[in-house]
Amino acid sequence: MVYLKLRPYRQRTLATCRNEKLAPRFYGPYEVVARVGAVAYKLHLPEGAQIHHVFHVSRFAEQLAPFSPSHQLPPQLSVGHELLVEPEQVLGVRPGMDGQPGVVKVLLQWRGLPAFEATWEPFSTIQQQFPAFPLEDKVKLWAAGRFTYSRRLKAQMKAQGQEGVFVLHILGCENTTIHDVSIYGDFNTPNTDGIDIEDSNNTQITRCHIDTGDDAICPKTYSGPLINLTTTDSWIRTKSSAIKLGSASLFDFKGLVFDNITIVDSHRGLGFQIRDGGNVSDVTFSKINISTRYYDPSWWGRAEPIYVTTCPRNSSSKEGSISNVLFVNITVNSENGIFLSGSKGGVLRNLRFINVNLTYRRWTKYAGGVVDYRPGCQGLVNRSSAGFLMEHIDGLEVKNVNMRWNDDRSKRWNIPLDFRSATVNNISLLNFHSGLFKQWQTGK
């Protein structure tokens, strides 16, 4: 009995294995059937083997022990010692590089080969060589859509998270377009973000449908600024924040526009969690329809339709600032009020609310009267509900704002404007109305 030394190579049109040093060198053991000439022998190979049965003696290693771990000849091995492989599973996706748009490479597990033989292959090549393999569907459903350091990326797909862990992650990209993307995550599981935009510039998100458990659209800055993000014509439901800047906020955010967005039954609507010293400026929210409600208090948020905060994450964190933010043509139906909370070193400046309609009423049984500063900061703090709760602000314009209160439980809604006078300055109120409304239907 001898072991057979072979180094098969992958078919020429596909990439070679990145870890070929780990590939098996010896197969067998196999029985020597006959001697053929002076330096060659015939082996008894398994049925179905396509390679020739006669080999030079230099390819043998004698079996010395009664048993030794071995590898069997792969059935994909051709007569020319070429592995004729077939794709079995998509393990990953890469975006286009060097200015080429779209998904261009996929990480494939090959049928019958070990995991370390997985290789990155061009999307178009696999489509051409394996037309029966449902590659396009598998790419669309691949659960971790991470696009990294790309130029001029365009994405269109539908995706469903597996085990609640799904995120479309745009990292360090330029000129990205996300259009007609539908994301469905586990509504009861955390870390099921919809779209995370990190350290990326000139990003456009249009006509997206996001229904998930964690933050739906989440710009954040870890290693660089985020500039020029536009999101339009989208629908969101989440158990966390529908749109949230942060909480990773080490660098600046500038030039963000959110327009024509519907937010349904979410724990928070529009959120700013600036915790790490980055500054936010020039942000516009327009034509936003928001419905927020209470969920279990273990989830961050207390049904705030708008939540703007700059408190530092911990004692070693810096305080960032938020300035020049416009909320225009906003409609709110919520179980809680708007929370505007700067900090001593991170004052909120020049916030404007124009043409805003607020309807406040309770329809769940969760307890109210709690302000949620999380993550970090003061945590959960008992405080009466208010239409606007404000602290550490310099410059607030409220124009054409109508606030209506539930007449059945008015004692919970007895403070239209709640601010700490020593920390709130330069307020302008023009055509601001607050009063009770008659509830025309029961329940929500």
> Alpha helix locations (H) across 367-440?
none
Same domain, 148 and 74: no
Same domain, 52 and 161: no
- Residue 75 belongs to domain spanning: 2-83
Nearest alpha carbon to residue 278 among 247, 300, 257:
247
Place of tokens 């519907």: 262
Name 132's Cβ contacts closer than 8 Å, sequence gap at least 6: none
Give the torsion through C-alpha atoms of 252, 257, 262, 266, to 10 deg: 10
Could you give the 3-state DSSP secondary structure of residue 283?
Answer: strand
How far apart (Å, rounded) are the C-alpha atoms in residues 364 and 334?
A: 11
Residues in a beta bridge with 221 = 249
How far apart (Å, rounded) are the C-alpha atoms in residues 8 and 383?
A: 71
Nearest alpha carbon to residue 368 among 425, 409, 408:
409
The domain boundary residue, chosen from 42, 59, 83? 83
Q: What is the pLDDT of residue 26?
A: 61
Q: Which residues of the chain fall short of a pLDDT of 50? A: 8-23, 69-71, 76, 78-81, 96-103, 140-144, 148-150, 161-166, 410, 439-444
Same domain, 77 and 166: no
Strand 280-292 and strand 253-266: pairing? parallel
Q: What is the pLDDT of residue 14?
A: 41
Strand 103-110 and strand 119-122: pairing? antiparallel
What's the CATH number where 243 sits? 2.160.20.10
Rounded to the nearest 5 percent, the helix, strand and coil shares of the chain are: 5, 50, 40
The domain boundary residue, chosen from 83, 106, 135? 83
| DSSP letters spanning 288-307 | EEEEE----TTSS--S-SEE
Q: How many H helices and E strands in the chain?
A: 2, 35
What DSSP state is assigned to residue 162? B
Place of tokens 């745009």: 170
Domain annotation covers residue 444: no
Domain annotation covers residue 132: no
Could you give the 3-state DSSP secondary structure of residue 371?
Answer: strand
Domain annotation covers residue 103: no
Rg over alpha carbons for the chain, rounded to the nearest Å, is 30
Same domain, 19 and 158: no
Same domain, 389 and 277: yes
pTM above 0.75, yes or no: no
Cis geometry, peptide bond prior to residue 375 (ω within 30 degrees of 0): yes
Q: What is the pLDDT of residues 95-110, one digit of tens each?
A: 544 444 444 677 788 8
Domain annotation covers residue 294: yes
Same domain, 77 and 158: no
Domain annotation covers residue 270: yes
Let me know: does 221 contact 200? Beta carbons within 8 Å.
Answer: no
Q: What is the pLDDT of residue 319?
A: 93
| DSSP letters spanning 46-105 | PTT--S-SEEEGGGEEE--SS-----PPPTTB-TTSEE---EEEEEEEEE--TT--SEEE
Q: What is the pLDDT of residue 348?
A: 97
Nearest alpha carbon to residue 390 among 353, 356, 355:
353
Q: What is the pLDDT of residue 8?
A: 44
The domain boundary residue, chosen from 63, 83, 103? 83
Let me know: does 439 contact 406? Beta carbons within 8 Å.
Answer: yes
Q: What is the pLDDT of residue 267?
A: 94
Domain annotation covers residue 121: no
Provide the number of structural domains found in the chain. Answer: 2
Place of tokens 């006078």: 421
Nearest alpha carbon to residue 269 among 208, 206, 336:
336
H or E segment and range at residue 139: helix 135-140
Same domain, 237 and 347: yes
